[in-house]
Amino acid sequence: MIEGAIWRRWVFSNLPLILFVVVLLFPFYWMIITTFRPDGELYRPWNAANNMPFWTNKPTLEHIYYLFEETNFARWMFNTMLIAAASTLISLFCGVLAGYALARLNFPWAGSLGTLIFITYLVPQTLLFIPLAEIIRDFRLGDTPWSLILTYPTFLIPFCTWLMMGYFKAIPKELEECARIDGASRLKAMIYIIIPVAVPGILSSGIIAFTLSWNEFIYALVFLSSPDQKTVAVGVTSELIRGDVFFWGSLMAGALLGSIPVAIVYSFFVEHYVSGLTGSVKG
């Protein structure tokens, strides 16, 4: 596509790309550098002569120590992990079954049910959080991990179902018919033949569901109240800000450590993540 001299390629392609990458990654660099800076260096006014924002010569772990010694950070991480894993598993289970039914079975209203699921896919959490908080209280689930484990699937299942429908539709019908001719029941054909073939799709939806539930905020903010029940995002927001005082060092340390599990999962499954993301868009 790009013809001509080397300088043209640099000016029109490489430089803008480098600029994009730098801007997109800078906040993470800022997170990291803040985490390891002593307070004395952090709180230098923006125009102070000795301000050297991009590097530090005296890296410190005090903010990370503070996080683990003075707050429930380890507990928040555990809560978040548990909630994300459990809600992902529930959503995968429901999504795979529902996706299979909608993609493969003939039954009345199959089309309209599919549309209904697509519409729930589009319902934002912020539309329902107040009545949902009431319902969670009525069910006596408030301030427990269950309040999130059971409500996160509401936005994960539609997504998983939608993605799995696409994967199931792409598997040739003949594969299943062969098993049926050999005498397998419908259910067995699904469990032993079709689902194993759809494993890449299940991985994709699982990873995206995991990152989505790790990312969720407003339900966790509203449904949880005691410090040891909180998720990372809510804990960092509520416990590291006292009135108007922000503990920036520990805040950034919390943000950094709270992002690492997602980043690790993502780095292992980038290709699955991307194919899931683009698959969900193609619909």
Partner 1 sequence: MAVTALGAGTARRPVVRLRKMEDERWLALALLAPTAILLGLFIAYPFAEGVMLSLSSARVGDPGKFVGLKNFFKLADDNIFWTSVWNTFWYTGVTTVFKLALGLWLAMLLNRHFRGKAIVRAFVLLPFIIPTVLSTFAWKWMFDPTFSVINWTLFKVGLISARINWLGDADLAMASIMVVNIWRGVPFFAISLLAGLQTISPELNEAAAIDGARPWNRFWYVTWPLLLPVTMVVMLFSVIQTFADFQLVYVMTGGGPANATHLFATYAYQIGIVSGLLSEGAAVSLAMFPFLFVIVVVQLLYIRRVETR
- Of the ranges 62-70, 71-79, 92-100, 167-175, which one interacts with partner 1 (CB under 8 A)? 92-100
Triad 180, 194, 89: Cα angle to 5°: 140
Indicate which single residue of 8, 10, 11, 21 sits in contact with partner 1 (rule: CB under 8 A). Answer: 21
Does 120 contact partner 1 by CB under 8 A?
Answer: yes
Report the nearest approach of partner 1 to the CB of residue 67 (Å): 13
Alpha-carbon torsion (192, 194, 199, 204), positive or negative: negative
Does 61 contact partner 1 by CB under 8 A?
Answer: no
As a whole number of angstroms, the distance between CA 60 and CA 34 comes to 10
Contact by Cβ (8 Å): 232, 253: no
Helix extents (H) in the chain: 6-9, 15-35, 39-42, 62-70, 73-104, 110-121, 129-138, 145-151, 153-170, 173-181, 186-188, 195-197, 199-215, 218-223, 232-239, 248-268, 270-282
Report the nearest approach of partner 1 to the CB of residue 69 (Å): 21
Does 97 contact partner 1 by CB under 8 A?
Answer: yes
Q: Which residues, numbered 22-41, are part of the site for partner 1 (CB under 8 A)?
A: 23-25, 27-28, 30-31, 34
Indicate which single residue of 154, 203, 227, 238 sits in contact with partner 1 (rule: CB under 8 A). Answer: 154
Indicate which single residue of 198, 202, 224, 252 sits in contact with partner 1 (rule: CB under 8 A). Answer: 252
Cβ-based nearer residue to partner 1, 199 or 263: 263
Cα dist from 253 to 189, 202, 210, 218, whole Å: 49, 33, 22, 22
- Which letter, b or e, does each residue of 113-128 get, where b requires 16 or more Cβ atoms within 10 Å of its Cβ? ebeebeeebeeebeee
Residues in contact with partner 1, counted by CB under 8 A, come to a total of 102
As a whole number of angstroms, the distance between CA 83 and CA 85 comes to 6
Indicate which single residue of 82, 197, 203, 222 sits in contact with partner 1 (rule: CB under 8 A). Answer: 222
Indicate which single residue of 61, 74, 140, 215 sits in contact with partner 1 (rule: CB under 8 A). Answer: 215
Does 276 contact partner 1 by CB under 8 A?
Answer: no
CB count within 10 Å of CB 82 equals: 14
Does 158 contact partner 1 by CB under 8 A?
Answer: yes
Does 270 contact partner 1 by CB under 8 A?
Answer: yes
Report the nearest approach of partner 1 to the CB of residue 12 (Å): 9
Indicate which single residue of 77, 98, 202, 209 sits in contact with partner 1 (rule: CB under 8 A). Answer: 98
- Of the ranges 65-73, 124-132, 162-170, 197-205, which one interacts with partner 1 (CB under 8 A)? 124-132
Report the nearest approach of partner 1 to the CB of residue 244 (Å): 11
Indicate which single residue of 16, 140, 169, 175 sits in contact with partner 1 (rule: CB under 8 A). Answer: 16
Q: Which residues, numbered 178-197, are part of the site for partner 1 (CB under 8 A)?
A: 179, 182-188, 192
Phi and psi torsions of 47, nearest 5°: -110, 15
Name the token pair of 257: 């450590």
Q: Which amino acid is at 64?
A: I
- Of the ranges 61-69, 100-108, 169-177, 195-203, which one interacts with partner 1 (CB under 8 A)? 100-108
As a whole number of angstroms, the distance between CA 219 and CA 85 comes to 16
